């Protein structure tokens, strides 16, 4: 068995060496297909990660307290307990007037004059409720409105909902595009390998005439497809993550987002690399198997 597998591998390597042009065309076809699939998968992962991040950032309800309530521990604790008992609330933090001013200074650090010209500290104390599900902002806000000690209730509002909706649409669109590209890639690779095998149809016919079984004829071509798939997937993985890094660095100065500037931090590199490796092998072997069916009919 070992000697037979050695023969199959040697035949596959010989075929790759002899038919460089067709083998090169098959590798390039798989490389392009895998690159497109890999970049789409990376974009899908990034969009999904950013969507979760936007949802977490937007999923905060701010309960602003009156001046009197902010200094009354009993009122603050009662409101905090009320929020913590809400099934949609994950965590509640009390933000004092001093902490609110500190946050505002950090927010306007590029325009310090905005804060310096303010008369005193106009920022109210608040209870910041982080939600388990950001889509429940309105329900939590309505539950707190009008309670004793509550001056106003703020949420991410329309901007937060719009950002969440856009991210969700982009994620679904990228997933659909990825499925379409995967189907197109399979057809492209299968056709390219079919042309490669067609150029060697005489070789297959001779092997069949001398009594070789279908399995014996098919195996070297399957291994050849396997090797082409491995080679193409390695190149595609390098190209995909190099492209992500280059594009991330290029756009980091244009978009105020660590997720763009350090794009690979939001992309599961190992999983995508493993997926491209498996997909490359599957494309190579499936392309060889499906393309040979015509020539192995008895």
What confidence score (pLDDT) does residue 1 get?
Answer: 53
Q: What is the pLDDT of residue 51?
A: 65
Query: Is domain 60-155 classified as CATH 3.90.320.10?
Result: no
44-63 burial: b if 16+ Cβ within 10 Å, else e: bbbbbbbbeebbeebbbbbb
Write the DSSP string, 228-295.
Answer: HHHHHHHHHHHHHHHHHHHHHHHHTTTS--HHHHTGGGGS-HHHHHHHHHHHHHHHHHHHHHHHHGGG
pLDDT digits (tens, 9 = 90+) for 80-124: 999 988 888 888 989 888 888 888 888 777 666 767 777 778 888
d(CA 254, CA 274): 31
Residue count of the chain, please give it. 298
Give the SS3 label for residue 117. Answer: coil
pLDDT digits (tens, 9 = 90+) for 136-145: 888 888 888 8
Separation CA 289–CA 298 (nearest Å): 16
Residues of the chain under the 70 pLDDT cut? 1-3, 7, 50-58, 110-112, 114, 156-164, 167-168, 171, 185, 189, 192-193, 196-197, 199-200, 247-267, 291, 294-298
pLDDT of residue 158: 58
How many other C-beta atoms are found inside a 10 Å radius of the C-beta of residue 147?
A: 14
> What's the number of CA atoms in the CB half-sphere (13 Å) around residue 225?
27
Reduced to 3 states (helix: H, G, I; strand: E, B; else coil), residue 93 is strand
The structural domains of the chain, with segments of one domain joined by +, span 2-55+162-296, 60-155
DSSP type of residue 66: P
């Amino acid at each position: 068995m070992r000697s037979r597998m050695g023969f199959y591998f040697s035949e596959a390597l010989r075929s790759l060496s002899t038919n460089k042009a067709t083998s090169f065309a098959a590798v390039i076809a798989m490389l392009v297909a895998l690159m497109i699939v890999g970049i789409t998968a990376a974009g899908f992962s990034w969009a999904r990660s950013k969507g979760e991040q936007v949802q977490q950032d937007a999923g905060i309800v701010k309960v602003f307290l009156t001046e009197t309530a902010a200094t009354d521990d009993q009122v603050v604790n009662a409101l905090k307990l009320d929020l913590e008992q809400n099934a949609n609330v994950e965590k509640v933090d009390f933000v004092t007037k001093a902490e609110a001013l500190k946050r505002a200074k950090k927010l306007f650090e590029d325009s310090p004059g905005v804060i310096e010209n303010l008369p005193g500290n106009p920022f109210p104390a608040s209870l910041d409720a982080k939600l388990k599900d950001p889509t429940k902002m309105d329900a939590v806000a309505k539950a707190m409105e009008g309670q004793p000690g509550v001056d106003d209730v703020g949420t991410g509002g329309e901007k937060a909902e719009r950002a969440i909706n856009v991210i969700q649409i982009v994620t679904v669109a990228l997933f659909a595009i990825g499925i379409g590209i995967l189907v197109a890639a399979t057809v492209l690779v299968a056709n390219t390998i079919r042309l490669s095998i067609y150029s060697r149809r005489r070789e297959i016919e001779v092997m069949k005439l001398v009594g070789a079984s279908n399995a014996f004829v098919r195996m070297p071509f399957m291994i050849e497809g396997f090797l082409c798939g491995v080679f193409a997937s390695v190149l595609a993985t390098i190209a995909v993550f190099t492209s992500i890094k280059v594009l991330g660095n290029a756009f980091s100065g244009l978009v105020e987002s660590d997720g763009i500037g350090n794009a690979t931090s939001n992309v599961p590199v190992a999983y995508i690399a493993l997926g491209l490796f498996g997909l490359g092998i599957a494309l190579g072997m499936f392309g060889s198997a499906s393309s040979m069916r015509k020539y192995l009919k008895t």
